[in-house]
Amino acid sequence: MIALVQRVSEARVVVDGRAVGAIGSGLLVLVCAQPADTEAVADKLVDKLLKLRIFSDEAGKMNRSVVDVRGGLLVVSQFTLAADLASGNRPGFSGAAPPAQGRALYERVLATARARHPQVEAGVFGADMKIHLVNDGPVTIPMLVAP
């Protein structure tokens, strides 16, 4: 799975003019499933997200996780993370999982995250979403979790 993780002081997802998910301080996570991904890979992604130490401790060092700071997770599906620009300027998306598999793995990420963390919000799979965020730092980390 591919994820783009942003440490935020606040973030929200809007669909059709209505906020469907919002958090204060925490992580905005854009997620893309790939064809070889499995439920085990989705679970591994959640493990890494919850342990990722990108929040500051008392000394100002990135040493705390979203769990440590009691932050929120806002998880949004984004197949465009698999964009391939090798053959021109128009991206191809064959590196993304087919929609049914992508939806199932996205829902697995959400279910696993909700079972392990008290504050998990989400976007709407396949919807035209508007994401509003205040990137804190800025801190943006690309992640690749392989099967």
Is residue 80 annotated as a catalytic residue, yes or no?
yes
For residue 52, give every residue at least 6 positions away whose Cβ sits within 8 Å of its Cβ, in sequence order, or none: 5, 27, 65, 66, 141
CB 23 within 8 A of CB 75: no
Per the document, the length of the chain is 147
The one catalytic residue among 6, 79, 101, 112: 79
The one catalytic residue among 80, 101, 112, 140: 80
* CA pair distance 142, 3, nearest whole angstrom: 6
Query: Angle of helix 99-116 relative to helix 39-51, nearest 10 degrees?
Result: 40
Neighbouring-strand partners of residue 14: 19, 130
For residue 75, give every residue at least 6 positions away whose Cβ sits within 8 Å of its Cβ, in sequence order, or none: 29, 31, 106, 109, 110, 113, 120, 121, 122, 123
The one catalytic residue among 55, 78, 101, 119: 78
Is residue 38 annotated as a catalytic residue, yes or no?
no
Q: Which residues belong to the active site?
A: 78-80
